[in-house]
Amino acid sequence: MKFGTKVIHAGLHPDPETGAVMTPIYQTSTYAQEEPGKHKGYEYARTQNPTRTALENNLAALENGVKAVCFASGMSAMDAVLRLLKPGDEIVASNDLYGGSYRLITSMFEPFGLKAHFVDMTDPKAVKKKINGKTRLLWVETPTNPMLSIVDIKAMAALKKKHPDLLLCVDNTFASPYLQNPLDLGADIVVHSATKYLGGHSDVVMGAVIVKDEALAERLYFIQNAVGAVPGPNDCFLVLRGIKTLHLRVERACKNAGKIAKFLQKHPKVRNVYYPGFKSHPNHDVAKRQMKRYGAMVSFDLMKDDFKQARKVLSNTRLFLLAESLGGVESLIGHPASMTHASIPREERLRVGLTDSLIRLSVGVEDVEDLIHDLERALR
Ligand SMILES: *Cc1c(COP(=O)(O)O)cnc(C)c1O
């Protein structure tokens, strides 16, 4: 099946009991057994739930994996992957990770003996320097947030050749499976915050891990059941429903983002525009190779680079809503320096280009003329 068919059909079938076309919400905590141990494959809902199973089968197909394992949030999905490691193991990760991912590694796992190195992953040599006999995991995010740098997934996979115990995990939240399939590029594990593009309607928090190895899937199912950070069936239904239009939504949002990036680039009050679709973007060639389109996230900063100017723009859009998160049908605007990245010291922020006036857009699927008009007015 091709992608647009998979989102609607892969792993799904009408309900055998009633013929219901949409997967029912199995709102139950337990399942009746005929005699002890004789059941239909479902015993207790932390361990298995049919709505969740349908979603997991669908997600596995979207990322060309063999199994998907769903969690209560993107963070608990990442937590499950980190639980594959043990004290003394080392991890190499991007130096501009999603804030919550950085926090999970440094505040929850390092105290238990995991050691992490944060490097610029757009430079494979820098990553290679940090890999030693204890390294068990490379954690990649691409495109990155909010600077939209692109990490070469194939180049990261090549670093595993001399290290058979090394796993490569890609947080594919920003691209979505429509734009990029890391397992096909040599990754072992894909993680999603399904809260973003997969759900797509800003109405659910969920996470997923997808793998191409059965043994690794079994270890993750064990963690899912043992820890119990599982999503409820209602949320699974919402993500299943969101996925049915993933290709349409992301396609449209990417088209809108391209036009908005061009508009901003020409605007006299705008200094830099960060968008992997520009030929001038330092990782444009990598993006062109590994992504179907250039994504729907655009960041830019202002000629007058200060908080006050940024605040004026952020407070004067009407369609772009000032909010955290991304990947929904509605366009959002955010200010990383005071919102998502406020805990990073200013000098460190400035070093990677995250200036005081940097503004991040999550472009939605509205009519692009209205979105451009909204930005034009706010900039004025
Ligand atoms: C939002 C996000 C997460 C965390 O997901 P939650 O569903 O909020 O727990 C992880 N990685 C990236 C890139 C994200 O954008």
Any idea where the domains of the chain sit in the sequence?
Answer: 3-243, 246-379
Which residues have CB under 8 Å from 217's CB, separation 6+?
66, 67, 69, 211
Token duo for residue 339:
């919102």
Q: Which atom of ligand 1 is nearest to the CA of 206?
A: 7
Interval between CA 121 and ligand 1 midpoint (Å)? 19
pLDDT of residue 344: 77
98 is catalytic: yes
Annotation marks residue 370 as catalytic: no
Residue 96: per-residue pLDDT: 84
269 in active site = no
Per CATH, which fold does 246-379 belong to?
Aspartate Aminotransferase, domain 1 (3.90.1150)
Tracing tokens 């993750």 back to the chain, one arrives at: 220
pLDDT digits (tens), the chain, 380 positions: 999 999 999 999 999 999 999 999 999 999 999 999 999 999 999 999 999 999 999 999 999 999 999 999 999 999 999 999 999 999 999 988 888 999 999 999 999 999 999 999 999 999 999 999 999 999 999 999 999 999 999 999 999 999 999 999 999 999 999 999 999 999 999 999 999 999 999 999 999 999 999 999 999 999 999 999 999 999 999 999 999 999 999 999 999 999 999 999 999 999 999 999 999 999 999 999 999 999 999 999 999 999 999 999 999 999 999 999 999 999 999 999 998 888 778 888 898 899 999 999 999 999 999 999 999 999 99
Of ligand 1's listed atoms, the one at least distance from the Cα of 97 is: 13
- Distance between CA atoms of residues 27 and 273, nearest Å: 46
CA of 232 to the centre of ligand 1 (A): 18
Cis check: omega of the bond before 50, within 30 degrees of 0: no
Give 72 Cα–ligand 1 centroid separation in angstroms. 11
Q: What is the whole-number distance in angstroms between the Cα of residue 98 and the centre of ligand 1? A: 7
CA distance 369 to 275: 19
Long-range contacts of 19-22 (CB under 8 A, 24+ apart): 22/237, 22/240, 22/241
Report the C-alpha gap between 258 and 265 in whole angstroms: 11
Residue with the smallest CA separation from ligand 1 atom 15 is 173
CB of 176 closer than 6 A to ligand 1? no
Q: How far apart are CA 274 and CA 293, in angstroms?
A: 15
Q: In CATH, which of 3.40.50.920, 3.40.640.10, 3.40.50.720, 3.90.1640.30 is domain 3-243?
A: 3.40.640.10
What is the best residue among 81, 82, 94, 98 to mutate for testing ligand 1's pocket, by most ligand atoms within 8 Å of CB? 98
Rounded distance, CA 112 to CA 374, Å? 48
Asked if 259 is an active-site residue, the reply is no
189 alpha carbon – ligand 1 mean position (Å): 16
Distance, CA of 76 to CA of 281 (rounded, Å)? 33
> Phi then psi for 272, rounded to 5 degrees?
-115, 145
Whether 185 is in the pocket of ligand 1, judged by its Cβ within 6 Å, is no
The model carries a pTM of 0.97
